[in-house]
Structure 1
Amino acid sequence: MPQLEVDGAALTYDDEGPRDGGGVPLVFVHGWTANRHRWDHQLAHFAEKRRVVRLDLRGHGDSGGAGVKTVAELANDLIALLDHLKIERFVLVGHSMGGMIAQTIALAHPERVERMVLVNSIAKMAFSRGRGLLMAASTLVPFKLFVATNIQRAFAPGYPREEIRGYVRSSADTPREVVMTLYGAMRAFDVLDRVGEIQVPTLMIHGYHDIQLPVQQMLRMAKAYPDATVRIIDAGHELPVEKPAELTAAIDAFVTTG
């Protein structure tokens, strides 16, 4: 497991696949409380023909570090890694909070992003006042209950309970400071008024049953994008593990066109 030290954090990453041919590298970014293994299916598929990079974000998985307060700081970590790997241009694929990171990079470094795929992600969390109060109140319950509640509701009805429990355990291993701070960072994230500046072709793939970041919010965002393709899949919020083959096929079709 290679690691890169960035601002006091050892970031663990994978860099696999051929260096020549097959198009620009694919860069996969996981979401809140997850880790790089959310992308196992996609890595196995794409690394056969093109370079693929994925990382554990600061404070997640096998990466160290804490103290991160904003989505922009996570985006800076990723740019530091790509600079280290001498990857100048790339395709960004981000799930949930990873999609927020992707949009942040596309706005700050448009010349480096060839295409972008947003999986169950939005540009702004816009909920009713009642839902907002409920979300704020949820942070007052015991930490493990807070994590369990959020992760369990991320999956569509019918997903195997034992697998969900495994994801709950993995998420609860993320340091409390990281979990709670980034929960607030996601709620504060708002680039909705700027997404019209993102000129790169963008694929938005969303689970129909996503109640964490409802599909209606993604559609609101898609209207503001100059070049967006929308795909709705029969799944919940955790598309990379709920419907991995279908997601991989959609990404493959998108990155190999044009």
Structure 2
Amino acid sequence: MARHSDGSSLLFLHPVGLDRRCIEWLDLPPVRAVTMPGHGERERARLGLTLADMADEIVGHSTGPLDVVGASLGGMVAMHLALAHPDRVRSLVLACTTPRGDSAVMNDRADATEDKGSAGMLEDTLTRWFTPAALEADRDTPYMAYARERLLAMDPGALADTWRAIGTHDVLERLGEIRVPTTCIAGMRDLSTPIDVMRDLAARVPDARLVEMDAPHMAFLERPREFSVAVLEHLAWAGEHTPTEGALR
């Protein structure tokens, strides 16, 4: 993994259904992206795998301090990473994500995925993720073609597993333990994560700032240039930031 001048590494954690290739549209310094279990080329994980397990695996395959950028599912895993391995995280970018999953909604979505298959859930997912304008231009947009291809290719069982894992995710009452510089990126057109959720998240993390983008849930795909600028500004801010007590130094 490429390192920056201060010894830290930039790591991107992707949303449900995508894989490490999703960073293709971002204009960032050397960045590594990992593929979550059951996604991309990776086989379906064991039953009962949690987001905390995903975070532990990431730490086991990396070294040194990390600046972690997580979008949607990736942001949830990033929170677990910062809580379970605070000595490994220098800073966080939490984009269009939530500290608490809705188990009823996620379990229903998992059941529907197993019943209808990935193809049967595709349009519902894309509608939650992108703006109407992006959906209308679907066939002419590389990132839309990528998202569609990845969702269609994913094993419905693995996708359902991930929805259920999100349903068990709950770090809301522990957000005050995250002691590193954190930028929360909210999409003002996000149908999956209402902006009030992101505002509350930013308010609960001691050293957090909120950036609001005119973007949907997949802000980093639909507005990659603006998203990249927000990450670069975060890295500059985090590099100048004085850590709070207990933060990675």
TM-score (ref. length: structure 2)? 0.84
Q: Any idea what SS the aligned residue of 1:74 has?
A: helix
AA aligned to 1:199 is R
One-letter identity of the residue aligned with 1:149: D
Structure 2: 5+ residue stretches without partners? 241-249
1:111 is aligned to 2:87: yes
Q: Which amino acid aligns with 2:157?
A: E
Take 1:81 and 1:213, find their aligned partners in 2: how far apart are those partners? 30
| 2:66 counterpart residue number | 90
3-state SS of paired residue (2:92): strand
Flag the 1:78–1:140 CA change in 2: closer, same or farther, 3 A.
closer
Q: What CA distance in whole angstroms lies between the structure 2 residues aligned with 1:113 and 1:182?
A: 24
State the match for 2:17 in structure 1.
33
Contact 2:72 2:98 (C-alpha < 8 Å) held by counterparts: yes
Q: Is the 8 A contact 2:11 2:69 kept in 1?
A: yes
Amino acid at match of 2:46: G
Give the 3 Å change call, closer, same or farther, for CA 45–166 of structure 1 in structure 2: closer
Percent identical: 27
Q: What is the one-letter code of the residue matched to 1:93?
A: V
Q: 3-state SS of the aligned residue for 1:194?
A: helix
Instruction: Map 1:133-172 to 2 at 5 A.
Output: 135=109, 138-139=112-113, 141-143=115-117, 144-159=119-134, 160-162=137-139, 163=141, 164=144, 166-172=146-152
Amino acid at match of 2:124: T
Q: Which structure has more RCO (C-alpha within 8 Å, separation ≥ 6)? A: 2
Q: Give the C-alpha shift of residue 147 in structure 1.
A: 3.5
Superposed CA offset, 1:194-221 (max 9, x none): 1111011100002111111222212222
Greater fraction helix: 2
Classify 1:167/1:133 alpha carbon distance in 2 versus 1 (closer, same or farther; 3 Å): closer
How do 1:1-258 residues align onto structure 2 when only pairs under 5 Å count?
15=1, 17=2, 19=3, 21=5, 23-42=7-26, 44-47=27-30, 52-67=31-46, 69-82=49-62, 87-126=63-102, 135=109, 138-139=112-113, 141-143=115-117, 144-159=119-134, 160-162=137-139, 163=141, 164=144, 166-257=146-237, 258=240
Going from structure 1 to structure 2, the CA distance change for 1:116 and 1:166 (only over 3 Å counts) comes to closer
Residue identity opposite 2:193 in structure 1: L
How far the C-alpha of 1:256 sits from its partner, in A, is 1.4
The question of whether the paired residues in 2 share the 8 Å contact of 1:148 and 1:168 is answered with: no
The alpha-carbon distance between structure 1 residues 135 and 175, as it changes in their structure 2 partners (threshold 3 A), is closer
Tell whether the 8 Å contact from 2:110 to 2:159 is kept in structure 1 after alignment. no
Deviation at 1:20, TM superposition (A): 6.0
Aligned partner of residue 64 in structure 1, secondary structure: coil
| Secondary structure at the counterpart of residue 204 of structure 2 | coil
Structure 1 unmatched ranges of 5 or more:
1-14
TM-score, normalising length: structure 1: 0.81
Alpha carbons of structure 1 residues 36 and 132: separation in structure 2 relative to 1, 3 Å: closer
